[in-house]
Chains A and B, each alone.
Chain A
Amino acid sequence: MSPRCHPSLYWNTHSCPTPSGLSPEKTEPLTVPRGASPCHIPTSRLQGGWHLGPRSILVALLGCHCNSTRSPASAALSTLTWCRHDDLKEMLDSNKDSLKLEAMKRIVAMIARGKNASDLFPAVVKNVACKNIEVKKLVYVYLVRYAEEQQDLALLSISTFQRGLKDPNQLIRASALRVLSSIRVPIIVPIMMLAIKEAASDMSPYVRKTAAHAIPKLYSLDSDQKDQLIEVIEKLLADKTTLVAGSVVMAFEEVCPERIDLIHKNYRKLCNLLIDVEEWGQVVIINMLTRYARTQFLSPNQNESLLEESAEKAFYGSEEEDTKDAKAEAASLAKRKPYVMDPDHRLLLRNTKPLLQSRNAAVVMAVAQLYFHLAPKAEVGVIAKALVRLLRSHSEVQYVVLQNVATMSIKRRGMFEPYLKSFYIRSTDPTQIKILKLEVLTNLANETNISTILREFQTYIRSMDKDFVAATIQAIGRCATNIGKVRDTCLNGLVQLLSNRDELVVAESVVVIKKLLQMQPAQHSEIIKHMAKLTDNIQVPMARASILWLIGEYCEHVPKIAPDVLRKMAKSFTNEEDIVKLQVINLAAKLYLTNSKQSKLLTQYVLNLAKYDQNYDIRDRARFIRQLIVPTEKSGALNKYAKKLFLAQKPAPILESSFKDRDHFQLGSLSHLLNAKAVGYQELPDWPDEAPDPSVRNVEVRGTPRREKRKEKVEKPFYSDSEGESGPTESADSGESHHGGASSRGHHGGSDSEESGSSSSSGTSSSSSEEEDEEEEEEGSGEQSEEKEGEEEEEKRKKRKEKGGLRKPSWCPAFGAVRTYELLHRMAGEGLSVEYCFSRRPFPGDPHMVAVQIQISNNTDIESLAPGDTASVVMGIDFCDSTQAANFQLCTHTRHFYVSIQPPVGELMAPVFMSENEFRKEQGKLTGMSEITEKLTLPEKCRSDHAIVQQVTSAANVGRVPCGADNEYRFAAKTVTSGSLVLITLEWREGAAAQLTVNSEKMVIGTMLVKDIIQALAQ
């Protein structure tokens, strides 16, 4: 283990308020009268040592279960638990890591079992800075679990994490941010916000990923931060590493899914990175891009598919409306111009297709739904094979996939037809899978395959699983209604089932037969007679009700049997279920109307029984029907129409799939599965009529034609080594072409680590070497040309070199001489010496870069530069507001020199001018964590206005802000890269005493700046 990576070195405990005085022997347990309390709170320590308000004690007191009315037995028991926890506390307080670890393990085991361990909070939280990494991790687990309940105590741990945020080890920075953001304590929202912002521009992609993860956490804690978080999301969306992409899109989906405009610029990048993103990120990105594409592109099926679709619908024997609709649609379509797919739309389809081969079912499903919702009809077919493959997976996966296949198979039947046999049911399938497969099989049935499917269904009917048999009968019914050819066969089969021994089967058959008979009742009076006989035996209410309805409806076909059935039913009326009773009343009413001679009395009898029924529906129905059919003086005109009302022609029911029209939910979503909108479901928008401007997705090409030369230190996509030749995709503009470019250099990213500093120099080395050479040759031409642009995506550090004569800077800092630093010593450089200074002039190429003026002097013999001569160039460096050194290589035609520029913190900013009021206002916003105050003594020579201002402005590139008070000095600046404000106030008190305050949201910069200014003033 290298010392650099040993995190414990950086987790010092000295300055953190470790409550070491908390060991049990020193504290006085807070005793609760009568009965021991399971925990004791060291109140005095809490108050004295930790500077906590009385509220924390209250919280702590509430945390312990003080129960004053305790029986002796329970008191003894609680003493026991008290003892056990006491024992844990003792272990936690010990010096031995092994004891602490043991204690933490036991505590975590308690948490895992769901036992309450919250009373140990004070004892655990002080181990947050423990050196042993496993103890620390377990403390984190504990903290994240209980911090919400003990907010005040949790605050004690914050400083440890804040220190961790600045640790050189990226793992520690990341884990500090992770835990800090997981502590759901609203007070620390500003700290979290700052930490996230910092981490979002961290140079380690892993830390940036963690920052992306932290965004939804903060958002759920305080949704008022939305605007600021969106800024961070926007920044992270621009990140080019695959590690970050998935997480930031996740954050986007949780925080601002409606801000689709943030995606435009990143759309192509996301499409291109997709294959290298980790699988979970892929799912999230694909789902988001589906929605995006629905808003930005035109429907690829607008021309042809609707017509075909309507043909398919007609097949189902469906309503004329649809056809009419389709016709109207088609007519309007004809007027439109021919459809051409947007290249970006094509890019998405092409780049997601390989993911159908993923081993992760969620990814496959995500691509499948993308194709279903976005692809032209002809191309959707490719997903069928992959979805069928998923049916081999675990039954839960099958369940979800089958639900989606069921929906798809209604819309696009042809797609799954070749895989019909994959949906055959095995006796070992769980019932819910069987029923879904049945659904799919029914959806796939058509005239050509119906005979095979029916044969298959026949074997299912003999299954032992009765629920499944019932579903099969329903399915047969649906096939029979949908496919006229087999209606009679099905009906015969179902009638045979009426003699089945299992009542459920018979009942289900009756219900289905009833529906089928409605289609052509005249031909089937035999069946109706047969069913009438069943009323003696069959007990299932739904089936009885169905039979009664049938007999009532077609009583004219069975004139002899119907009154007899009514007689039997009248006898058993009181014992029937409600639905059966209602049908008995209906039957009676219908018979009364058609055959009043035989059934008048029976009807009266039934209606009288119903009049006193317990169920009010039945009473109401009886009353209503009596008024309607029995003519009295009072009864109105309706009486005449009673027959029309009751015996009207009723349309046959349409048996349709329960999955019909489910596709208005995005497939693969929870809402689709539940067929109800889930919380947070994002509606899948309809295709727009007019395509929005596609140019929003164009990424402006920054830089020069030489850009291709650039060697990028991008985390190289794994797959691109084989894709190198294929180059950029047609629609990816040159801004994305670097993938091809990078890999064509044969740079295999297999094993190189993406650590900081050292690699950044190698990243730029080769490009600067070429260009530095050129620079040497062109020296002295005086013409400005953009010379070099070495870009390190990793660090987002851009260097730009501008050539030209050394011009007197047009703007100079008010006071203070410009300090020069040595870049390359004459001896080391074999005669070439290079110095640099911070010109404090805005860099013309990019205002977000710090201008560094480089002076090259030749002390020996260099072709392009006469001996003794000097040349000067200005280079822009984006330091990303950090004092991390910029490493690069300086090349002559003979030698390469590794050099680095480390900026003083004061050079990372540019002055801003503001009024006193503005200053006060801004300062008011930057308090708390962002404020750093230090006291100092001014030396003799620095006690004048002039001297102070000069020293401060020399130490930092700041502008002076007017100030009313004469013993106060104010300065303001903005950091160059991010433009965050840095406000400096120096208050000169009597004598030599003074106080320096720096307000900046960049805490690191603030702290370092204070140090630098004090040093400058002390000189």
Chain B
Amino acid sequence: MIHSLFLINASGDIFLEKHWKSVVSRSVCDYFFEAQERASEAENVPPVISTPHHYLLSVYRHKIFFVAVIQTEVPPLFVIEFLHRVVDTFQDYFGICSEVMIKDNVVVVYEVLEEMLDNGFPLATESNILKELIKPPTILRTVVNTITGSTNVGDQLPTGQLSVVPWRRTGVKYTNNEAYFDVIEEIDAIIDKSGSTITAEIQGVIDACVKLTGMPDLTLSFMNPRLLDDVSFHPCVRFKRWESERILSFIPPDGNFRLLSYHVSAQNLVAIPVYVKHNINFRDSSSLGRFEITVGPKQTMGKTIEGVMVTSQMPKGVLNMSLTPSQGTHIFDPVTKLLTWDVGKINPQKLPSLKGSMNLQAGTSKPDENPTINLQFKIQQLAISGLKVNRLDMYGEKYKPFKGIKYMTKAGKFQVRT
């Protein structure tokens, strides 16, 4: 299975290597660098590269390439999914996953990697178990360790490893018992030139933060479970119960986790909460172009749209832009030709707009293509699909937990073609 792992930063330095079997020389990464050169951008590096003796499978996250070396047939998704799990674990351990962070905590990183794979086969990937084996570094613990000489490494088999609920450790204790659930929905949409929707769908997740004592058994039910078309669960959710009653029944992991991700059935029409009015013109004769966009609310169910951010990749021919926003700030990067406009909140009385002109390269003809506009926004207290949690019950423990549910709608891949 996974032979070795190399971590490569944006400038092409291998800053960490780990081998689970015989050592593979880091020169194998030369094939990767070749592929990287061939691809114009980092994200275009093929995830699977075949070399004479090895196969290189890589993922690119946080500006770091995680390159796994394998020698024999293995499902590629197996390796890719595992690499992503590694990144998630680092993020979980150190808050952020960056080169500096990994270098600073290289010993913990190494210990974690050692536990995650045995002979290239995943051993412990559940973060709850890992955290019992190797405690994440915190400032307090570092201080305590230096004084008392205790270590980060647990000396007992994590209870989860053997129990039937491997995601939860035993003996959890809290003084305040709380369970919070965030229902977050993202709208993926493509809007065409004329403003009509080409495709739109809603993807949702329920992220939970559960801090409950003991072994609570929770059930979460929805007012309108039929809305959920396609779901994928955290392993803790009892599938049969969902199949028969459409109820989420589970013994939660301790801490933060993603309980469920879902897809709202395509039959339901998706409400598009914003519209973009645009007028982008390149004139053939002059070297000036006109640029004008206005963002406005559409179907928001009376909620405010916040955190609006407009980005657009301008054609290569655009040299510079002189624009005036009615609100927010904007940046145009003349090198990457990326226009970013941080709008903020939309006030329905006074719609935000960005107007001005573009300087085009003189002498060349007008660009063929019009830029697409990517939109980000947030709406608090609203699940755009209308999904509502009915109730949350707890069994198995005596105390009364504090429960909270929050809804939010965000733009996912929201794109307007011009």
Contacts and interface: CB of A to CB of B under 8 A. Distances in A.
Q: Chain B interface mostly helix, strand, loop or mixed?
A: mixed
A716 B165 CA distance: 10
B407 to A, nearest CB: 20
Contact of B21 (A220, A676, A753): A220
A399 B119 contact: no
A931 B71 CA distance: 39
Contact of B157 (A108, A171, A394): A171
Contacts of A431: 40, 44
A206 interface: yes
Interface string A713-746: 0011111011100100000000000000000000
A132 interface: yes
A428 B61 CA distance: 16
Interface in B100-140: 106-107, 109-111, 114, 118-119, 121-123, 125
Contact of B374 (A5, A148, A428, A671): A428
A365 B232 CA distance: 13
A97 interface: yes
A362 B77 CA distance: 5
A943 to B, nearest CB: 51
A511 to B, nearest CB: 20
Nearest to A421: B199
Nearest to B47: A396
Interface residues of B, number: 106
A141 B113 CA distance: 10
B159 interface: yes
A563 interface: no
A464 B72 contact: no
A236 B45 CA distance: 41
A670 B74 contact: yes
A678 interface: yes
A68 interface: no
A40 to B, nearest CB: 25
Chain B CB within 10 Å — which of A181, A217, A430 has the most? Answer: A430
Contacts of B198: 421, 424, 456
Contacts of A233: none
Contacts, number: 273
B353 interface: no
Nearest to A97: B149
A578 B118 CA distance: 54
Determine which residue in A456, A500, A751 has the highest number of CB atoms from chain B within 10 A of its CB, and name it: A751
A53 interface: no
B413 to A, nearest CB: 6
Nearest to A111: B110
A581 interface: no
Given A108-B106, A250-B121, A680-B72, A5 B155 contact: yes
B203 interface: yes
Q: Say which size band chain A's interface belongs to.
A: 35 or more
Interface in B302-354: 313, 315-316
B75 A141 contact: no
A315 to B, nearest CB: 26
A394 B59 contact: yes
Interface string A338-369: 00000000000000001001111110111000
A753 B72 contact: no
Interface in B70-89: 70-78, 80-84
Contacts of A385: 229-230, 263
A337 interface: no
A280 interface: yes
A276 interface: yes
Contact of B107 (A138, A671, A722): A138
A84 interface: no
B109 A112 contact: yes
Contacts of B155: 1, 5-7, 133, 171
B377 interface: no
Given A114-B17, A354-B239, A361 B77 contact: yes
B15 A681 contact: no
Question: Lowest 8 CB-CB distances: which A-B pairs, in order?
Answer: A680-B72, A134-B151, A421-B199, A171-B157, A396-B47, A681-B73, A280-B122, A430-B43
Interface of A: 1, 5-7, 97-98, 101, 105, 108-109, 111-114, 132-134, 137-138, 140-141, 145, 148, 170-171, 174, 178, 181-182, 184, 204-206, 210, 213-214, 216-217, 220, 243, 247, 250, 275-276, 278-280, 283, 287, 354, 357-362, 364-366, 385-386, 388-389, 392, 394-397, 399-401, 418, 421-422, 424, 426-428, 430-432, 456, 459, 462-464, 500-502, 668-671, 673-674, 676, 678-682, 715-719, 721-723, 726, 749-754
28 contacts: A5-B156, A97-B149, A108-B110, A112-B106, A170-B157, A171-B156, A181-B119, A213-B118, A216-B121, A247-B121, A283-B75, A357-B231, A357-B232, A385-B229, A389-B230, A397-B81, A422-B199, A426-B190, A427-B313, A427-B415, A432-B46, A459-B192, A464-B313, A674-B48, A680-B72, A715-B162, A750-B215, A751-B163
